[in-house]
Chains A and B, each alone.
Chain A
Amino acid sequence: MGDSIVQFLETWSPIDIVLIAQNFDRFLWGALTTLELTLISLVVGGILSIPLAIIRAGNNPFLNAPVWLFTYVFRGTPLLVQTYLIYYGLGQFEWIRETFLWGPILSQAWYCALIAFSLNTAAYTTELLRGSIVNTNRGEVEAAKACGFSSPMRMRRIVLPSAFRRALPAYSNEVIFMLHGSVVASTITIQDLLGVGRWLNGRYYLAYEGFITAAVLYFIIVLAVSRGFRFWEKHWLQHLYPREALEVKPAKGAASFRI
């Protein structure tokens, strides 16, 4: 039975499904690398972006200008070029090659990708978080002032919790963009999901199999991530939805009531 299925696929399928199945564990490892790279850079970039966003939302010109320059440069240029600059470019300098960081970190493709991705997502997240901090309801801030909250305490207890929530829909876009952007890793020898696809095609002289498998797996990951975010948004933005959504529709003839 199993043999006949294999034989059927080998003769009739336009793409070599058997070969994909044989190498499927490699694709899963590749997917894991992709997820790992994306997740770690989102965490690092996210942590970096919080103080940077607070600086950008404030009005200290000496702090604001360099942060603005950082976000402007990283948002205005392609991630591919940023990654090349770090991975291929840093080796140009003798003094960088002589520091202790060179051997274990800066000459490794994986760390270079991680640094580039983290800085990139930090720049985008900074700006979207800044927008959300600036748009905090004035009344909330005034109420906190009236209660005698100090400025750092206002930021920590009032502004940030609400800003994070309101930034969530835009942030889900950023996460998906980062997932898309992580394919750049495959151009600097990392075996991520696309890297495995390219390896398979190169090894067996194929045109479709590796890329189609990678495409399908990316699609599944993106779908799962966006579903996850939709669930999260429902949970964390509940208080911003219109009231009617919470009301129970009254049954016909019954008195209407609210919960």
Chain B
Amino acid sequence: MDLIIEYQGQLLSGTWVTIKLALLSLVIAVLFGLLGAWAKLSKNILAQKIGAAYTAIVRGVPDLVLILLVFFGGQELANSIGTLTGLWDYAEISQFAAGVGTIGVVFGGYMTETFRGAILAIPKGQIEAGVACGMSRLVIFRRVIWPQMVVYALPGFSNNWLVQIKSTALVSVIGLQDVVYNGFVAGRSTRELFTFMFAVLMIYLVLTAISDVGLRWLDKRYSKGIVRSEDG
């Protein structure tokens, strides 16, 4: 316990990196999720195909493989493009950017499925009514689809977010100094890896517990006026 207090600076800075990583990748995931849901529901066959390929790849390939591919492969690709076009000499992809980008895009694939299901759950007549009232597509999205979609998507969204927070641990493999990496380094130098890994475990538990409270609040707020059949 004394050791934990001694190394609390490293652990806290790592936790902060984890939180930033998780929140930023969540923003990307929501954007890609909306885009993906739009592509999968659109009448354009090409967009449908791209959307289907996107979710299939994301669900078929483990996230760590993609993180490594983006971090090492992306670096190489950026450099070959640089030498080929002569625009830049040496480009470097930071661990943070690779982590945020990859985790965001991967969970965007899961969000796509959640959002698609939520949009499909909205009765079609309401959208038709919107069209009949002369609303533009943007207004229909903002006033009819979005408020209801949030309610339907929230359980899936919560699930995805809880998985996503835990997935951020994988970026420690490419050397980003998140809570796992810092905890590991501190544990190794003090020869007390169990103590530090246990502390990291507890930090993740706190993060998921806080998210749980937040998500429950959101659920309450958005499902006002909806009668639930169950007691949940």
Contact = CB atoms under 8 A, between A and B. Distances in A.
Contact of B200 (A81, A91, A180, A197): A81
Given A73-B205, A187-B173, A176 B59 contact: yes
Q: Which 9 A-B pairs have the closest CB atoms?
A: A89-B194, A207-B76, A78-B169, A219-B60, A180-B62, A78-B166, A92-B194, A85-B197, A211-B69
Contact of B205 (A76, A84, A201, A219): A76
Given A78-B180, A180-B63, A211-B65, 10 more contacts: A78-B169, A85-B198, A93-B194, A179-B62, A180-B62, A194-B62, A207-B73, A211-B69, A211-B72, A212-B69
A92 B201 contact: no
Contact of B192 (A78, A82, A92): A92
Report, as a range, how many residues of chain A touch the other chain: 35 or more
Max chain B C-beta neighbours (<10 A), residue from A72, A78, A186: A78
A120 to B, nearest CB: 11
Given A77-B166, A207-B72, A84 B62 contact: no
Given A183-B62, A215-B65, A77 B192 contact: no
Contacts of A76: 162, 166, 204-205, 208-209
Given A80-B180, A88-B187, A187-B173, A222 B194 contact: no
Q: Is the interface of B mostly helix, strand, loop or mixed?
A: helix
Interface of A: 72-73, 76-82, 84-85, 88-93, 176, 179-184, 186-187, 194, 197-198, 201, 207-208, 211-212, 214-215, 218-219, 222-223
B126 to A, nearest CB: 26
B73 A208 contact: yes
Contact of A194 (B65, B72, B162): B65
Contacts of A201: 72
B148 interface: no
Contacts, number: 113
Contact of B201 (A85, A93, A181): A85
Contacts of B170: 78, 80
Interface of B: 57, 59-66, 68-69, 72-73, 75-77, 162, 166-170, 172-173, 180, 184, 187-188, 191-195, 197-198, 200-201, 204-205, 208-209
Contacts of A194: 62, 64-65, 68
A186 B193 CA distance: 19
B68 A211 contact: yes
A223 B76 contact: no
Given A76-B205, A84-B193, A184 B60 contact: no
Nearest to B207: A76
Contacts of A211: 65, 68-69, 72-73
Nearest to B200: A81
Max chain A C-beta neighbours (<10 A), residue from B60, B166, B193: B60
A89 B60 contact: no
